[in-house]
Structure 1
Amino acid sequence: MAAKPDDVARIREWGSRSDKPTVIDAMATVIGTDLRQDVARIASPTLVQGTWIAYQDHAPPPRFNV
């Protein structure tokens, strides 16, 4: 969701220093794991955060050459 050129440049720099297989594995786990059913079983006080972005109406993001 970065749109400012300075933010995009910073994120691209982070990516160039990251271990790509590890990033891919972490992103696949985060994106591909649905914990909604498991959340109901949490017995201790817990802050559960989720994303609202899927429910927002956004224009297509600008395309950047990565």
Structure 2
Amino acid sequence: MADDAARIDALEERIAYQDEAIETLNQTVTAQWAVIDALKREVAALGERLEDAVSGPAPVDRPPPHY
């Protein structure tokens, strides 16, 4: 009986640590997804800016206004 109780206590302790570890990992993954989403939006915006720059009118080759 005492051996069974000790085993159950040990299992409950392991579960408590695993629950804490899982929660910490979940928070980390959630934070990483937020960063990934922000980076995806930034890359998309930069891609659009690049497309606009490439498809835009050619720059006029003239001297700067201070000449």
Please say which structure displays the higher CA radius of gyration.
2
Return the TM-score normalized by structure 1.
0.29
Q: Return the TM-score normalized by structure 2.
A: 0.28
